Structure 1
Amino acid sequence: MEAPESRKRTREDDGALSIRSKRHQSNNGDWQSLGYCDYTVGWVCALPIEMAAAEAILDSIHAPLPRKEGDPNTYTFGRVGEHNVVIACLPASQYGTNNAATVASNMSRSYSSITIRLMVGIGGGVPDSGIDIRLGDVVVGNEVIQYDLGKVLPDGQFQRTGRTTTPPHTIMTAVSKLQADYESAPSKIPSILLDMLDRNEQMTSYARPSLPDRLFQRPHRETAKPRIHYGKIASGNQVVKDGETRAKMAEELGIICFEMEAAGLHDFSCLVVRGICDYSDSHKNKAWQRYSAAVAAAYAKELLSVIPTQQRRDTETTYPTTNPTLLQSRVEAVLNSLTFEQIDSRHATIKTQHSKTCQWLLGHSKYVEWLEPIHFASHHGFLWINGKPGAGKSTLMKFSYTYAKNKWKATADANVISFFFNARGVQLEKSTEGMYRSLLFQVIQKFPDVLHDSDHIFQARHNQATWDIETLQALFTHAATKLGQRQIICFIDALDECDISEVENMVEYFENLGDQAAESQTKMYICFSSRHYPHIDIRNGLKLTLEDQPGHGEDLEKYVRSKLRAGNSKASQEVSAEILERASGVFLWVVLVVDILNREFRDGRIFAVKQRLKELPDGLSNLFKDILCRDNHNMDDLLLCIQWILYAARPLTCEEYYFALVSGLDPSPENLVRYDRESTTPAAMELYLLSSSKGLAELVKSKARTVQFIHESVRDFLIKDNGIRQLWPNHAASFKSYSHDRLKQCCDTYCNIDISERVPQGEPLPNASSEQAKELRTRVSKEFPFLDYATRHVLHHANAAEDDISQLTFLKNFALKRWLHLYNLFQRYEVQRYTAKASLVYILAEHNLPSLVRSAVNNGFDAHPKGERYGYPLLAALRNGHEEVYKALQPHCNALDKIIDQNDYHKGFSIPKITTVLHYAAEHGNLLLLTHLLGFMTPASDAPDERRGRTPLSYAASSGSEACLRALLSCGSHIEAADKDGRTPLLYAANGKNEAIVRLLLDRGAQTEAADKDGRTPLSYAGNEAIVRLLLDWGTQIKAADKDGRTPLSYAAESGDKDVVRLLLDRGAQTEAADKDGRTPLLYAAWLGESEAIVRLLLNWGAQVETADKYGRTPLSYAVEGKGSEAIVRLLLNRGAQTEAADKDGRTLLSYAAESGDKDVVRLLLDRGAQIEAADKDGRTPLSYAASVKRNEAIVQLLQSRGAKSSSSMISS
Structure 2
Amino acid sequence: MDAHFFGIFKALDGTCQWLFRRSEYTAWTDLKLSNQQSGLLCIRGKPGAGKSTLMKMIIKQIESGEHEKDATVLRFFFNSRSNTRLEVTMRGLFRSLLCQLLQQDKTLLQGFLPFYRRKVYMYGTDWEWYTEELKDYFWNMCMKQRRKHLFLIVDALDECDGTDLGVVINFFQDLLWSSAPEKPAVRVCFSSRYYPIVPLERCLEVHLDKHNKPDIIRYIERWLRPSDAVPGLKRLAAEISRRASGVFLWVVLVVNAIIKARDEGETMHRMLQMVQDLPKQLNDLIRQLLMAISDDRPEEALHIMQWVAFSRRAMSTRELRFAVEIGRMPNHKSHQQVLTSPTFISSDGQMEKLIRARTKGLVETRRYDGGSQSTEDSQATSTIHVEFIHGSVKEILLYHQGFAILDSSLGGSPSGGSHRYLATTCINHLGFEELPDLTLITAEEEPLERQEAVEVAKPLYETFPFLEYSVDSVLEHVTKAAFSSTSTPPSRQVMDSIIRSFHIWRRLADLNLTRNYVERRGSSTTFGHVAAEYNLVEWMTLLIQQGLDVNCIGGRYGTLLQTAAVMGHEGLADQLLEFGADVGIYGHGRFGSALSAAAFSGKSHIVRAILARGPDVNVAEGEYGTALHTAAQLSDANEDIIEILLEVGADVNIHPLDCRYHDALQAAAFSGNKKIVKRLLDAGASVNARGGEYGSALQAAASQGNEAVVTLLLSKGTDVNSNSGDYGSAVMLAASGGHLKIVRHLLALDLAPLIKKSAPSGEPTAFSEELEQRIKDAIALAQDVKKFFDALEKTDILTMKTILDFGLDVNVRGGDFSSAWHAAAIDGNAYAMALLLSRPNIKPDMRDWIGRTALWYAASEGHLHVVNQLLDTGLVDLTVKTANGRNLLWWPCHNGFVDVVWVLLEEGVSAHEEDMDGISPFMMARKERRAAVLEVIEIASGVGLEGGGD
Q: Deviation of residue 584 (structure 1)?
A: 1.5
Other-structure match for 1:324: none
> In structure 2, what residue type is equivalent to 1:649?
R
Other-structure match for 2:137: 475
Other-structure match for 1:543: 205
Q: Are 1:563 and 2:228 counterparts?
A: no
Q: Are 1:489 and 2:173 counterparts?
A: no
Q: Deviation of residue 385 (structure 1)?
A: 0.9
Q: Deviation of residue 673 (structure 1)?
A: 1.3
Q: Deviation of residue 547 (structure 1)?
A: 0.9
Q: Are 1:673 and 2:332 counterparts?
A: no
CA distance in 1, matches of 2:147, 2:611: 58
Other-structure match for 1:503: 165
Q: Are 1:713 and 2:392 counterparts?
A: yes
CA distance in 1, matches of 2:222, 2:403: 35
CA offsets 1:928-956 (integer angstroms, 9 cap, x no match): 89717743541343x48699999753553
CA contact (8 A) 2:655 2:662 kept: yes
CA distance in 2, matches of 1:715, 1:419: 20
Which of 330, 345, 365 aligns to 1:699? It is 365
CA offsets 1:903-925 (integer angstroms, 9 cap, x no match): xx4123374xxxx7756875x67
Q: Are 1:844 and 2:531 counterparts?
A: yes
Closer/same/farther in 2, CA of residues 996 and 455 from structure 1, 3 Å limit: farther
Q: How do 1:115-194 and structure 2 match up within 5 A? A: none
Q: Deviation of residue 377 (structure 1)?
A: 4.6
Other-structure match for 1:1157: 805
Other-structure match for 1:416: 73
Other-structure match for 1:798: 478
CA distance in 1, matches of 2:214, 2:473: 48
Closer/same/farther in 2, CA of residues 438 and 763 from structure 1, 3 Å limit: closer
Q: Are 1:820 and 2:502 counterparts?
A: yes
Closer/same/farther in 2, CA of residues 402 and 575 from structure 1, 3 Å limit: same
Cα RMSD (Å): 5.0
Q: Deviation of residue 712 (structure 1)?
A: 1.3
Which of 731, 749, 752 aligns to 1:1073? It is 752
Closer/same/farther in 2, CA of residues 900 and 806 from structure 1, 3 Å limit: same
Aligned-partner SS, 2:327: helix
Which of 617, 633, 641 aligns to 2:304? It is 641
Closer/same/farther in 2, CA of residues 476 and 408 from structure 1, 3 Å limit: farther
Q: How do 1:228-627 and structure 2 match up within 5 A? A: 342=1, 344-379=2-37, 381-407=39-65, 411=69, 413-425=70-82, 426-450=84-108, 463=122, 465-484=127-146, 486-517=148-179, 519-549=181-211, 552-568=212-228, 571-605=232-266, 606-627=268-289
Q: Deviation of residue 1027 (structure 1)?
A: 5.5
Other-structure match for 1:963: 638
CA distance in 1, matches of 2:168, 2:612: 41
CA contact (8 A) 1:565 1:598 kept: no
CA offsets 1:158-184 (integer angstroms, 9 cap, x no match): xxxxxxxxxxxxxxxxxxxxxxxxxxx
Which of 440, 454, 465 aligns to 1:785? It is 465
CA contact (8 A) 1:743 1:797 kept: yes
> In structure 2, what residue type is equivalent to 1:530?
S
Other-structure match for 2:349: 683
Closer/same/farther in 2, CA of residues 850 and 559 from structure 1, 3 Å limit: same
CA offsets 1:584-627 (integer angstroms, 9 cap, x no match): 11101011111111222223322211211122111211111222
Q: Deviation of residue 509 (structure 1)?
A: 0.9
Gapped regions of structure 2 (runs ≥ 5): 373-382, 756-761, 788-800, 810-834, 841-950
Aligned-partner SS, 2:411: helix
CA distance in 2, matches of 1:753, 1:1001: 56
Other-structure match for 1:1122: 781
Q: Deviation of residue 492 (structure 1)?
A: 1.6
Q: Are 1:853 and 2:539 counterparts?
A: yes
CA contact (8 A) 1:975 1:1006 kept: no
CA contact (8 A) 1:690 1:698 kept: yes
CA offsets 1:224-256 (integer angstroms, 9 cap, x no match): xxxxxxxxxxxxxxxxxxxxxxxxxxxxxxxxx
Closer/same/farther in 2, CA of residues 723 and 980 from structure 1, 3 Å limit: closer
Q: Deviation of residue 1116 (structure 1)?
A: 11
Closer/same/farther in 2, CA of residues 453 and 818 from structure 1, 3 Å limit: closer
Q: Deviation of residue 710 (structure 1)?
A: 1.5
CA contact (8 A) 2:699 2:730 kept: yes
Other-structure match for 2:568: 883
CA offsets 1:1002-1024 (integer angstroms, 9 cap, x no match): 8xx5589965589x997787438
Other-structure match for 1:723: 402
Closer/same/farther in 2, CA of residues 547 and 481 from structure 1, 3 Å limit: same
Closer/same/farther in 2, CA of residues 644 and 520 from structure 1, 3 Å limit: same
Other-structure match for 2:798: none
Q: Deviation of residue 695 (structure 1)?
A: 2.1
CA distance in 2, matches of 1:619, 1:1061: 58
Q: Deviation of residue 683 (structure 1)?
A: 1.8
CA distance in 2, matches of 1:1189, 1:662: 67
Gapped regions of structure 1 (runs ≥ 5): 1-341, 1081-1097, 1109-1113, 1129-1152, 1162-1186, 1193-1213
CA distance in 1, matches of 2:577, 2:46: 54
Aligned-partner SS, 2:141: helix
> In structure 2, what residue type is equivalent to 1:737?
G
In the comparison of the two structures, how many residue pairs are matched? 753
> In structure 1, what residue type is equivalent to 2:24?
K
Q: How do 1:1082-1097 and structure 2 match up within 5 A? A: none
> In structure 1, what residue type is equivalent to 2:393?
V
CA distance in 2, matches of 1:754, 1:456: 48
CA contact (8 A) 1:408 1:415 kept: no
CA offsets 1:238-294 (integer angstroms, 9 cap, x no match): xxxxxxxxxxxxxxxxxxxxxxxxxxxxxxxxxxxxxxxxxxxxxxxxxxxxxxxxx
Other-structure match for 2:424: 745
Closer/same/farther in 2, CA of residues 362 and 798 from structure 1, 3 Å limit: same
> In structure 1, what residue type is equivalent to 2:47?
P
Aligned-partner SS, 2:232: helix
CA distance in 1, matches of 2:544, 2:742: 59
Q: How do 1:686-1085 and structure 2 match up within 5 A? A: 686-702=352-368, 703=372, 704-755=383-434, 759=438, 767-768=446-447, 778-779=458-459, 781-802=461-482, 806=486, 808-813=488-493, 814-816=496-498, 818-824=500-506, 826-827=508-509, 829=511, 832=520, 840-846=527-533, 848-851=534-537, 853=539, 856=542, 862=548, 864=550, 866=552, 868-869=554-555, 874-875=560-561, 877-878=563-564, 881-884=566-569, 887-888=571-572, 890-894=574-578, 896=580, 902=585, 905-909=586-590, 911=592, 918=595, 931=607, 934-941=610-617, 943=618, 952-953=627-628, 956-960=631-635, 962-963=637-638, 966-969=641-644, 972-973=647-648, 977-978=652-653, 989-998=668-677, 1005=682, 1012=689, 1022-1023=701-702, 1028-1029=707-708, 1037=715, 1051-1052=730-731, 1055-1056=734-735, 1062=741, 1072-1073=751-752
Q: Deviation of residue 357 (structure 1)?
A: 0.3
CA distance in 2, matches of 1:629, 1:844: 40
CA distance in 1, matches of 2:637, 2:221: 62
* TM-score normalised over the length of structure 2: 0.67
* TM-score normalised over the length of structure 1: 0.54
CA distance in 1, matches of 2:367, 2:836: 62
Q: Deviation of residue 406 (structure 1)?
A: 1.9
CA distance in 2, matches of 1:1045, 1:861: 56
Between structure 1 and structure 2, the one with the greater Rg is 1
Compare the two structures and name the one with the higher helix fraction.
2
CA distance in 2, matches of 1:708, 1:862: 43
Closer/same/farther in 2, CA of residues 933 and 717 from structure 1, 3 Å limit: closer
CA distance in 1, matches of 2:503, 2:745: 68
Q: Deviation of residue 872 (structure 1)?
A: 6.7
Name whichever of 1099-1108 and 622-631 sits farther off: 1099-1108
Closer/same/farther in 2, CA of residues 828 and 894 from structure 1, 3 Å limit: closer
